[in-house]
């Protein structure tokens, strides 16, 4: 582990003032909240910050559910949000995605903001024994392309990177049109969570549009996402405590026996949480019939590209969408 100074500022302003390059992935300073991912990255020498700036106590952990929608303080833990009665009742997709994530111990420690900004599980990113990783060492190449890439993405990839985004929470939130409130030295700005993440393109080491010295302060979900019939489908190799092989977040507003409105996002398959609006369009007005659902889900494969070991994800993600719709539709 690279030696670092742990800064424990007493105000958010002070924390932001440490900005230096903090928030950017190639920075000499990094923020730490729950630390469930950061500690691993430090131990494995993947991240080598000179300063680790603690956000402990500087961001709120309130969970508010009201007529305006849902607001989650960035410091709320996964466990707190998953157990919140109003979240469970009105935004079960979020609670479900959280409970399908990690383990109880990790959920007690990990925060909302940290969850959204956790780094990829691409094993080549996490093993410094591989020299080539464009995310870790810009310009060094990609070991996953041509390597063992069952873990990697089939959507949003580039010649530089095929790393999958690991968060379940982010998939559910993107499906529900969540917005992140970003705090920086010059104040607050709001942006759709979907726009927070950048595609890898030529610069996979820059994963978000956060500017140096910006932090996620809160997440909001519009009230329109409340009360939808929803289901989070997570396919994985064991029953618990594992990142998704493929995941699908589905939320429906039924119009009689037909789907009035559908929200569908995918996890485990994209370089960012992957909203599939073309599937949603195809589903609008459709009955809950297998052949119809199957045809709509097939549109998720548009633009998908396998890299060998992960080719199966293109089929599996369509099945996960169908399962999600069927299950959500059953929940009258």
Partner 1 sequence: MTAPYMGKPISRVDGRLKVTGTANYAAEQDPPRLAFGAIVRSTIASGRIATIDTAAAAGASGVVTVLTHRNAPRYAGPPHKAMVDPERGEKLRVLQDDRITHQGQPVALVIANTLEEATHAATLVRVTYSAAPAITDIAHARAVLPTQQKTDQGERQSPVQQRGNPQGALAAAEVKVDHQYVIPRENNNPIELHATVAAWEGDRLTLWDKSQWVDNVALEMAAIFGVPPESVRVVSPFVGGAFGSALRTWAHVPLAAMGARVTRRPVKVMLSRREMYYGTGYRPHTTQRVALGASADGRLSAILHEDEQETSTYEEYTEAVLDATRFLHSCPNVYTRHRIKRLNVHTPTWMRGPGEASGVFALECAMDELAVALQLDPVELRLRNEPERDEYRKLPFSSRSTRECYRVATERFGWGRRNPEPRSMRDGRWLIGWGMATATYPSNWAPAAARARLLPDGSAEVSSAASDMGPGTWTSMTQVAAETLGLPMERVRFTLGDSRLPNTPPHGGSMTMASVGSAVQAACRKVRADALARGSEGNDLVAAMRRIGQPVEATVNATPGADAQKYSKHAFGGVFVEVAVDPDLGETRVRRVVGAYGVGRVMNPKLSRSQCIGGMIGGIGMALMEHAVVDPRNGRIPNANLAEYPVPVHADSPPVMDVIFVDEHDPHVNPLGVKGLGEIAIVGIASAVVNAVYHATGKRIRELPVTPDKLL
Q: Of the two residues 167 and 220, which places its CB atom closer to partner 1 in the complex?
A: 167
- Asked whether position 261 contacts partner 1 by CB under 8 A, the answer is no
Residues 303 to 322: which contact partner 1 by CB under 8 A? Answer: 312, 315-316, 319-320, 322
- Asked whether position 114 contacts partner 1 by CB under 8 A, the answer is no
For the chain, state the CA radius of gyration.
19
Q: Does residue 45 contact residue 52 with C-beta atoms inside 8 Å?
A: no
- Asked whether position 200 contacts partner 1 by CB under 8 A, the answer is no
Closest alpha carbon to 74 in 165, 9, 169: 169
| CA dist., res. 143 & res. 207, Å (int) | 18
Q: Of the two residues 147 and 156, which places its CB atom closer to partner 1 in the complex?
A: 147
Concatenated DSSP letters for 283-327? HTT-BS-HHHHHHHHHGGGTT----STTTHHHHHHHHHHHHHHHH
Q: Of the two residues 150 and 253, which places its CB atom closer to partner 1 in the complex?
A: 150
**Look-up of token digits 């093993």:** 127
The terminus-to-terminus CA distance of the chain in angstroms comes to 52
- Asked whether position 123 contacts partner 1 by CB under 8 A, the answer is yes
Q: Does residue 66 contact residue 52 with C-beta atoms inside 8 Å?
A: no
Residue 95: CB minimum distance to partner 1, A: 18
What stretches of 143-289 show up as alpha helix (H) in DSSP?
Answer: 169-175, 193-196, 277-283
- Asked whether position 237 contacts partner 1 by CB under 8 A, the answer is yes
Question: Of 6, 10, 239, 291, which one interacts with partner 1 (CB under 8 A)?
Answer: 239
Site string (43-62) toward partner 1, x via CB under 8 A: xxx-----------------
Q: Of the two residues 99 and 218, which places its CB atom closer to partner 1 in the complex?
A: 99
- Asked whether position 108 contacts partner 1 by CB under 8 A, the answer is no
Residues that bind partner 1 (CB under 8 A): 1-3, 43-45, 103, 121, 123-124, 126-127, 129-131, 143, 146-148, 150-151, 233, 235-243, 245, 312, 315-316, 319-320, 322-323
């Amino acid at each position: 582990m690279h030696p670092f100074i742990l800064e424990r500022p007493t105000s958010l302003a002070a924390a932001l003032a440490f900005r230096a390059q903090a928030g950017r992935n190639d920075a000499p300073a990094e923020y730490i909240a729950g630390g469930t991912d950061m500690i691993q990255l430090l131990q494995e020498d993947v991240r080598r910050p000179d300063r680790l700036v603690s956000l402990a106590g500087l961001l709120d952990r309130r969970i508010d559910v009201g007529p305006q929608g849902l607001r989650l303080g960035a410091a709320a833990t996964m466990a707190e949000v998953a157990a919140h009665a109003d979240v469970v009742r009105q935004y079960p997709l979020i609670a479900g995605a959280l409970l399908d994530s990690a383990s109880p111990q990790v959920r007690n420690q990990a925060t909302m903001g940290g969850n959204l900004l956790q780094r990829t599980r691409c094993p080549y990113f996490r093993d410094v024994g591989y020299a080539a990783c464009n995310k870790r060492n810009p310009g060094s190449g990609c070991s996953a392309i041509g390597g063992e890439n069952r873990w990697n993405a089939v959507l949003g990839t580039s010649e530089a990177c095929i790393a999958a985004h690991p968060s379940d929470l982010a998939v559910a939130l993107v499906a529900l049109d969540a917005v992140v409130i970003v705090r920086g030295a010059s104040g607050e700005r709001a942006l759709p969570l979907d726009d927070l993440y950048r595609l890898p393109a030529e610069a996979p080491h820059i994963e978000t549009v956060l500017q140096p010295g910006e932090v996620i302060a809160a997440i909001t979900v519009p009230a329109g996402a409340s009360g939808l019939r929803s289901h989070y489908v997570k396919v994985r190799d064991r029953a618990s405590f594992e990142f998704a092989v493929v995941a699908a977040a589905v939320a429906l507003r039924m119009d009689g026996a037909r789907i009035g409105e559908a929200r569908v996002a995918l996890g485990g398959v994209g370089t960012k949480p992957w909203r599939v609006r073309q599937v949603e369009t195809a589903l609008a007005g459709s009955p809950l019939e297998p052949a119809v659902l199957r045809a709509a889900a097939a549109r998720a494969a548009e633009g998908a590209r396998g890299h060998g070991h992960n080719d199966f994800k293109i089929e599996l993600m369509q099945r996960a969408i169908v399962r999600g719709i069927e299950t959500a539709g059953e929940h009258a």
